Amino acid sequence: MRQKEADKITGKRKPPSLSESAPTSSTKKAKSAIDSTDPICTPDPKSQIAEDNGIVLRDFYGPEMSYERVFAYKEDKLPRPIELLDSALVEIRSTRDEIKVKDAIVHWFRSDLRVRDNKALRLASERAREKGALLITMYIVSPQDFEAHFTSPARVDFILRTLQELKDDLAKLNIPLYVETIEKRKRIPGRIVDLLEAWGANHLFANMEFEVDELRRDESLVRACLEKGIAMDVLPDNCVVHPGRLATGTRNQYSVYTPWFRSWIAHIHENPELLELSEEPLKNPASMRERYVKIFDRTIPTAPRNKMLKDEEKRRFQSIWPAGEREAHERLKIFVQQRIGDYKEHRNFPGENATSSLSVHFATGTLSARTAVRTARDHNRTKRLDGGNVGIETWISEIAWRDFYRHVLAHWPYICMNKPFKSEYALVEWEYDQDKFKAWCEGRTGYPIVDAAMRQLNYCGWMHNRCRMVVASFLAKHLLIDWRMGERYFMEHLIDGDFASNNGGWGFSSSTGVDPQPYFRIFNPLLQSEKFDSEGEYIKRWIPELRGIEGKAVHDPYGRGKGAEAEKSGYPKHMVDHRESRDRCLARYKEVLGRRAEQ
Ligand SMILES: Cc1cc2nc3c(=O)[nH]c(=O)nc-3n(C[C@H](O)[C@H](O)[C@H](O)COP(=O)(O)OP(=O)(O)OC[C@H]3O[C@@H](n4cnc5c(N)ncnc54)[C@H](O)[C@@H]3O)c2cc1C
């Protein structure tokens, strides 16, 4: 059953009936994916102008972080949010350690919604056992944070479903999970302190998150807690290798993946304890249930109004993406047993079910990256991460990308504030054409591979990695639309939306981020389509209008003699010509980047 659901997303192995997997209505009937009055389509009126080495930078986005700060971070003149949190934790350590444990210890779940291999949860539980205290856990639903991070309704729904599973699993260990919605996010720190006081707790544990808002929140909370006599500890758990641990020979942060990856592997080999998994939390005494009955009895709240799904969508996402950590482990097990060996060979073909579909679990924390790497490695014949079965080796290197983008985010925090990694890209004259953007969002560009991918995203909340690169390149290069509009649209629709990986992927595909290809590359959608979906299976699964088109014409019906059929079924012509767009893009990027924009 589970495998069948996974297959619905990409599945060649067990192709679902097409009516089951994709919307059958034509795009003409398709509901508008975006509201044309949505502010996303218009640049922020508070545009910024700044000067870098005599170059004037103009940026429509991001009044939140000035270029002065961007340059200061680049030049190491300003402490980064992660450094400020680390310093706060060091500063308070001695005072914190003197605080005597009272009745309870609290673990605050954020993007680590699991019982297994959760460092802060386990430590909180050990401390509670050692001091004869009880373990309480909590999760705060913050509609304003969801809004600020453009969290998709599908992702919010997944989180809430996961919380229900988590609550049930914890209850078996007599550990209560308290979940509360707090409308105004600035009230969160105060409310947490109040809750701890009400529960007779003065120790709080959490795992670290790397987005700027989250690091700042934790830094101020660590200090605010101490003033109230509460000891807060924030642990490194989210990555296999914590950001800041790897540096180039000149003690700088790597901005290129390949040498970073070599260093990541070497660091893990030198520190094998990084792959040791934490045990589950210890059971609370049964008396806990009477004492904290109100917490045990609390229900999981419904989604905030701004993030609610319609009933049909709810059913659909539930069936495609069952929630919870057991599901994550089940998927991991099946993937490692059945598909990981062929991963390298098949991972780029969107019509096949060759990847793990585990990203939603990494993003929600129902599975730790450590557990995934450890499980894959244990399945290999070597105990090294860079050898043995090539499928396993390649999959581990993909999980490493997740770590890499977190390291980048922690070191260059301005990418969290709508600033391109490379400032000169703020100079590109981006376009903000609402009709073109809408056509891209709705899968009506006339390029079948692009349209199939966007419709997969709109229907499933997920898109194959190869297609993410193709559609991102198409938006930023063929249409020259500001890549941040695409980045945001992805976050608003992905069930696995994860700031660091999404920003990294958009930066990579639009060449505005770290580690671009050695040459400037504009994906040719037709070649990508023919190479990675040669029989057009993926295209036909997502574009009902093209199901009747035979042979290679499916990649370009109007250019290959099937225009009449495509037109009859309502499939549009190319919205832009590939060669013209390519030349236009090269010229536009070259204006600001000089020779480097030549292919
Ligand atoms: C424009 C763009 C946007 C993206 N947005 C996101 C996002 O919001 N959330 C997200 O989790 N991934 C994102 N990715 C990365 C990648 O597309 C997905 O992680 C992957 O498709 C998820 O499918 P899977 O779990 O089957 O991956 P698998 O191929 O099975 O890989 C295993 C895991 O490795 C990690 N991984 C794989 N590829 C990448 C990558 N390129 N970058 C970072 N991590 C990677 C993911 O955690 C993934 O689950 C984006 C990529 C691009 C090009």
Nearest CA to ligand 1 atom 24: 357
User: Residue 7 corresponds to which amino acid?
Assistant: D
Q: Across 134-218, where does the E strand assignment appear? A: 134-141, 177-181, 201-207
| Three-state DSSP class for residue 234 | strand
Nearest CA to ligand 1 atom 52: 505
Please count the CA atoms within 13 angstroms of the CA of 201 that sit on its side-chain side. 27
**DSSP letters for 462-506:** ---HHHHHHHHHIIIIIS-B-HHHHHHHHHHH-TT--HHHHHHHH
Q: Which two tokens stand for residue 29?
A: 């009937």
The pLDDT value recorded for residue 25 is 40
Asked whether residue 400 is marked as a ligand-binding residue, the answer is: yes
Looking at the domain covering 2-46+420-597, what would its CATH class be? mainly alpha
**DSSP letters for 418-445:** T--SSGGGGGS--B--HHHHHHHHHT-S
The finding on whether 360 has its CB within 6 A of some atom of ligand 1 is no
The pLDDT value recorded for residue 39 is 33
500: CA distance to ligand 1 center in Å?
A: 10
Contacts of 1 (CB under 8 A, 6+ apart): none
376: CA distance to ligand 1 center in Å?
A: 17
Whether this model's ipTM surpasses 0.90 comes out as yes
503: CA distance to ligand 1 center in Å?
A: 11
Asked whether residue 508 is marked as a ligand-binding residue, the answer is: no
Tens of pLDDT along the chain (599 residues) come to 344 433 443 333 332 222 234 444 433 333 333 333 333 333 443 455 555 555 555 554 544 567 778 888 888 999 999 999 999 999 999 998 899 999 999 999 999 999 999 999 999 999 999 999 999 999 999 999 999 899 999 999 999 999 999 999 999 999 999 999 999 999 999 999 999 999 999 999 999 999 999 999 999 999 999 999 999 999 999 999 999 999 999 999 999 999 999 999 999 999 999 999 999 999 999 998 998 999 999 999 999 998 999 999 999 999 999 999 999 999 999 999 999 999 999 999 999 999 999 999 999 999 999 999 999 999 999 989 999 999 999 999 999 999 999 999 999 999 988 888 888 888 888 898 999 999 999 999 999 999 999 999 999 999 999 999 999 999 999 999 999 899 999 999 999 999 999 999 999 999 888 876 767 789 999 999 999 999 999 999 999 999 999 999 999 999 999 999 999 999 999 999 999 999 999 999 988 877 666 65
Asked whether residue 354 is marked as a ligand-binding residue, the answer is: no
The finding on whether 356 has its CB within 6 A of some atom of ligand 1 is yes
Q: Is 476 left (phi over 0), alpha (psi -120 to 50) or beta?
A: alpha
Contacts of 546 (CB under 8 A, 6+ apart): 448, 536, 539, 540, 554, 557, 566, 569, 571
Confirm if 543 and 452 have CB atoms less than 8 A apart. yes
Average pLDDT over all residues of the chain: 89
Q: Which two tokens stand for residue 285?
A: 């005494």
Q: Which of 7, 334, 359, 366 to mutate to test the pocket of ligand 1 (most atoms within 8 A of CB)?
A: 359
Confirm if 418 and 487 have CB atoms less than 8 A apart. no
Nearest to 482 by CA among 527, 520, 434: 434
495: CA distance to ligand 1 center in Å?
A: 12
Measured between alpha carbons, how far is 448 from 470 in angstroms, rounded to an integer?
11
458-470 pLDDT, tens per residue? 999 999 999 999 9
| Three-state DSSP class for residue 323 | coil
Contacts of 531 (CB under 8 A, 6+ apart): none
Domain-by-domain residue ranges, the chain?
2-46+420-597
The pLDDT value recorded for residue 357 is 98
Model confidence, pTM: 0.91
Helix extents (H) in 281-389? 288-291, 293-297, 311-320, 325-334, 343-346, 359-364, 369-379
